[in-house]
């Protein structure tokens, strides 16, 4: 996560850990706010059937309140959940792993 935050900040974005989970466990969600378009996206790490690690959008809502509700439900299921928030004028996620936007 620190590498993701560092990449975002080097790219001119603002990034922060919005929720800390267990350092050795817990899923990670990345919330991206596109400041120019006023849009928000959420990404979660997943494993494809072939074993490849990929980031995907677990909820396709673009209203921040809907995505925040998703994060809250996920937090109830996984109290070790981490949430990283990135605010960027271009809406970049700064993830280096494959990202499935579908």
| Mean pLDDT of the region 57-79 | 92
Whole-number pLDDT of residue 77: 93
Q: Report pTM.
A: 0.92
- Which residue, 37, 38, 29, 26, is CA-closest to 93? 29
pLDDT per residue as tens digits for the range 5-52: 999 999 999 999 999 988 888 899 999 999 899 899 999 999 888 989
Whole-number pLDDT of residue 72: 95
pLDDT over threshold 80, residue 102: no
All structural domains of the chain: 2-93 (3.40.1530.20)
> For residue 86, what pLDDT band results from cuts at 50, 70 and 90?
very high
- CA dihedral over 16, 4, 40, 13, signed as positive or negative: positive
């Amino acid at each position: 996560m620190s590498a993701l935050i560092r990449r975002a900040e080097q790219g001119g974005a603002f990034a922060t850990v919005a929720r800390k989970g267990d350092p050795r466990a817990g899923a990670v969600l990345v919330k991206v706010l596109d400041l120019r378009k006023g849009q928000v996206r959420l990404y979660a790490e997943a494993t494809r059937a072939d074993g490849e690690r990929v980031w995907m959008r677990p909820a396709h809502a673009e209203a921040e309140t809907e995505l925040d509700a998703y994060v809250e439900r996920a937090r109830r299921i996984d109290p070790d959940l981490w949430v990283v928030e990135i605010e960027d004028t271009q809406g970049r996620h700064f993830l280096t792993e494959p990202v499935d936007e579908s």
